[in-house]
């Protein structure tokens, strides 16, 4: 199977599984990834961990498939776009465990996630312009919002190999740990998030994504609407009660 998955507690762990191709994405891998991401909608799932088998996270589009010809890039991108929207629209946190290398659409997938854990030896590269392609899979949306407009063109046009230190400095990595500790760190983070106020995490995701296209007045209005929803949640009640009782909260995700 080009994508494998398992559930550990409330965490759905999804792994790209084409290690000999550095988890390059072809049609069947993208379809399998989309099916796996659909499982995240299950109410028992409260966080998702995305990772790669073998020595890399993901090398982006399978260039053998691209070279074979007959691939309508625009039509093919609907598969990438669906996956990116599944990650962004999922009302639960998604952690990317990025070890080895993430390139092209593989880096874009990592950027679509909510948090990125990198290894000290991990390299990121936008890759697209190296083969004379424009960025896709949301990279022109996520990259400038992550590293800033002033750096986005350079990373996209010159496609440098970014090491983990640069990734951390640019805000592309949330955590950098020893290369062989990436999965462990990401699993810990995902488990912690899965024990959190899941519904509120979904609202945070929604608010941040919406803020990218709204003006301040609209943002303030949306925040007020979402705060009403959060305020009606059982987890809010529990959070406040736990604070007053000087104990850790036990969130149900509702
Ligand atoms: C690969 C790949 C790969 C196939 C390594 N495909 N085999 C969307 C829609 C439509 C069209 C096109 O594009 C897109 C979006 C995109 O993602 S475009 C960008 C596509 N990705 C790239 O251009 C990255 C290509 N790969 C690389 O630059 C390097 O492989 C990286 C930097 C990822 C890793 O370098 P190394 O660690 O030196 O590994 P390697 O190059 O030796 O690769 C190991 C094997 O994996 C090798 O196969 P082999 O049979 O020789 O062992 C590579 O051919 C294969 N592989 N990436 N994308």
Same fold, 3-194 and 198-244: no
Q: How far apart are CA 77 and CA 128, in angstroms?
A: 14
- What ipTM does this complex have? 0.98
The predicted structure's pLDDT at residue 10 = 98
Compute, in angstroms, the gap from residue 211 CA to the centroid of ligand 1: 34
Check residue 254 and give its pLDDT. Answer: 95
Report CA Rg, the chain: 19
Instruction: Report the atom number in ligand 1 closest to the C-alpha of 55.
Output: 37
CATH of domain 3-194: 3.90.226.10
> Among the listed ranges 56-60, 68-72, 90-94, 192-196, which one has the minimum average pLDDT value?
68-72
**What residues does each domain of the chain span?**
3-194, 198-244
CB-based contact 182:99 (threshold 8 Å): yes
Nearest ligand 1 atom to alpha carbon 108: 17
CA terminus-to-terminus distance, the chain: 34
Cα–Cα–Cα angle for 250, 242, 49, rounded to 5 degrees: 35
For the stretch 93-136, pLDDT in tens is 999 999 999 999 999 999 999 999 999 999 999 999 999 999 99
Order of strands, sheet of 3-8, starting from the edge strand that comes earlier in the sequence: 3-8, 11-16, 47-52, 94-98, 115-119, 175-177
Q: pLDDT digits over 141-196, tens only?
A: 999 999 999 999 999 999 999 999 999 999 999 999 999 999 999 999 999 999 99
Distance CA 206, CA 191 (A): 21
* pLDDT at res. 36: 99
* Ligand 1 center to 60 CA (angstroms): 7
209 C-alpha to center of ligand 1: Å? Answer: 30
Residues 31, 83: Cα–Cα separation, whole Å: 9
Q: Quick check: 123 and 55 in contact, CB under 8 A?
A: no
* Cβ atoms of 37 and 87 closer than 8 Å: yes
- Which residue's alpha carbon is nearest to atom 19 within ligand 1? 104
Task: Say how far apart CA 110 and CA 57 lie, in whole Å.
Answer: 9
- Mean pLDDT, rounded, of the chain: 98
**Ligand 1 atom closest to residue 21's alpha carbon, by position in its atom list:** 46
Predicted confidence at residue 156, as pLDDT, reads 98
Pocket test for ligand 1, best of 33, 55, 60 (most atoms within 8 A of CB): 60
pLDDT at 75: 98
Query: Which residues have any ligand 1 atom within 6 Å of their CB?
Result: 21-22, 24, 59-64, 66, 73, 76-77, 101, 103-105, 125, 127-128, 130-131, 133, 136
pLDDT given at position 14: 99
Pick the atom of ligand 1 nearest to 100's CA: 37
- Domain boundaries 198-244, corresponding CATH code: 1.10.12.10
């Amino acid at each position: 199977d080009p994508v494998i998955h398992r559930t550990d507690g409330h965490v759905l762990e999804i792994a790209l599984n084409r290690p000999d191709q550095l988890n390059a994405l072809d049609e069947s891998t993208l379809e399998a990834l989309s099916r796996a991401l659909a499982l995240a909608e299950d109410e028992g799932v409260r966080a998702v961990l995305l990772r790669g088998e073998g020595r890399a996270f993901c090398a982006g589009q399978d260039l053998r498939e691209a070279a074979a010809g007959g691939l309508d890039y625009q039509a093919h991108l609907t598969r990438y776009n669906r996956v990116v929207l599944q990650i962004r629209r999922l009302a639960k946190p998604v952690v990317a465990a990025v070890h080895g290398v993430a390139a092209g659409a593989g880096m874009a997938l990592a950027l679509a996630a909510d948090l990125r854990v990198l290894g000290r030896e991990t390299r990121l590269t936008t890759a697209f312009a190296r083969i004379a392609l424009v960025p896709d899979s949301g990279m022109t949306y996520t990259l400038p919002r992550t590293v800033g407009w002033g750096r986005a063109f350079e990373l996209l046009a010159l496609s440098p190999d970014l090491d983990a230190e640069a990734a951390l400095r640019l805000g592309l990595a949330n955590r950098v740990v020893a290369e062989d500790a990436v999965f462990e760190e990401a699993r810990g983070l995902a488990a912690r998030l899965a024990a959190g106020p899941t519904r509120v995490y979904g609202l945070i995701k929604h608010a941040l994504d919406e803020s990218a296209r709204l003006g301040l007045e609209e943002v303030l209005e949306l925040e007020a609407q979402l705060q009403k929803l959060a305020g009606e949640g059982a987890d809010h009640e529990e959070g406040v009660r736990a604070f007053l009782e000087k104990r850790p909260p036990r969130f149900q995700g509702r």
